[in-house]
Amino acid sequence: MVKSIKELPPLDNWADLPRFAKGYEEQGLRTDFSVSPFITFLNSCQFAFLWLDSRLIQSELIITPTSKENSMTLELPKLPFSADAFGSAMSSETFEYHHGKHHQAYVDNGNKLVAGSEFEGKSMEDIITSSFGKNPGVFNNVAQVYNHNFFWNSLAPKGGGNIPASMETKIKEAFGSVDEFKEAFTQGGITQFGSGWVWLVLKDGKLEIMKTPNAENPLVHGATPLVTCDVWEHAYYVDYRNARPAFLSAFLSSMINWEFAEANLAAAS
């Protein structure tokens, strides 16, 4: 079988043929073409294929200086549930656009902007904190990938039920009661002017409500995100039109993933 050409030295010109043939032999392929006409034919085909492949790879490297293997690649994650799992509370049409179009666009733009930049090879979290206030294009797209990844995990079909005990204790410490937490979270989401996010975060050992504009998130404000709700219009306009309060109410009553929030709290404590 012909192996990947990527480990072979590229053939720059025919004077380099012996060097190329050496790499060919190191992959267990024969360069002695004198055994039989049939073997000679097969080996010649393989050799021609490998040479052509090396030329294509060289062309790709010239056109795209940063190969995929060396770049930080953002990916669109699969939704951790079926797109119709929330019924009318968050419709499959919303997921079709929110996940399939908006989130995908952040992934695609983020990859284009990071490739070949000083941010290449860094983790998503490092890119977010190091690009904040310095490179709006990179920050906005990469942070929105992170935020949406976090949002999908903040949703659970049949969510919004009982709050795990340790989380409920922390909520009561910070807000007085679960109802007061829900009111604070809802108000945070409603009063976030324009596009943005509302978060339950852990900061300095205490739970807080944090609202952030556009792509900003708790990572750039020294806090650990526990759970979030996207309050960009694209998150709710299909199902709730302009009624952001109704969307936040549905999020808290039937969609919020308390197990995810609890796991994040446990990991940060």
What's the closest the beta carbon of residue 25 comes to Fe ion, in angstroms? 54
CA distance to 149, 201, 224, 226, per residue, from 268 (Å): 18, 10, 7, 9
230 or 239, CB closer to Fe ion? 230
Residue nearest to Fe ion (CB): 230
The reply on whether position 230 binds Fe ion by CB under 5 A is yes
Q: In what order do the strands lie in the sheet with 224-230?
A: 206-213, 196-203, 224-230
Burial class (CB in 10 A: 0-12, 13-18, 19+), 187: middle
By CB under 5 A, the count of residues binding Fe ion is 3
CA distance to 2, 12, 228, 266, per residue, from 151 (Å): 44, 49, 6, 18
216 or 230, CB closer to Fe ion? 230
What is the C-alpha to C-alpha distance for residues 205 and 177, in angstroms, rounded to an integer?
18
The reply on whether position 197 binds Fe ion by CB under 5 A is no
Q: In this structure, is the dihedral angle defined by the CA atoms of residues 94, 95, 99 and 101, taken in order, positive or negative?
A: negative
171 or 227, CB closer to Fe ion? 227
208 or 230, CB closer to Fe ion? 230
Binding piece for Fe ion, criterion CB under 5 A, among 48-56, 57-65, 171-179, 224-232: 224-232
Binding piece for Fe ion, criterion CB under 5 A, among 34-42, 50-58, 86-94, 223-231: 223-231
152 or 175, CB closer to Fe ion? 152
The reply on whether position 208 binds Fe ion by CB under 5 A is no
Answer whether 222's CB lies under 8 Å from 203's CB: yes
The reply on whether position 106 binds Fe ion by CB under 5 A is no
68 or 241, CB closer to Fe ion? 241
Binding piece for Fe ion, criterion CB under 5 A, among 34-42, 113-121, 191-199, 231-239: 231-239
User: According to CB under 5 A, which one of 232, 240, 247, 251 is a site residue for Fe ion?
Assistant: 232
CA distance to 123, 128, 229, per residue, from 111 (Å): 12, 13, 25
Could you write out the three-class secondary structure of 38-53? HHHHHHHHHHHHHHHH
Chain residues in the site for Fe ion (CB under 5 A): 230, 232, 235
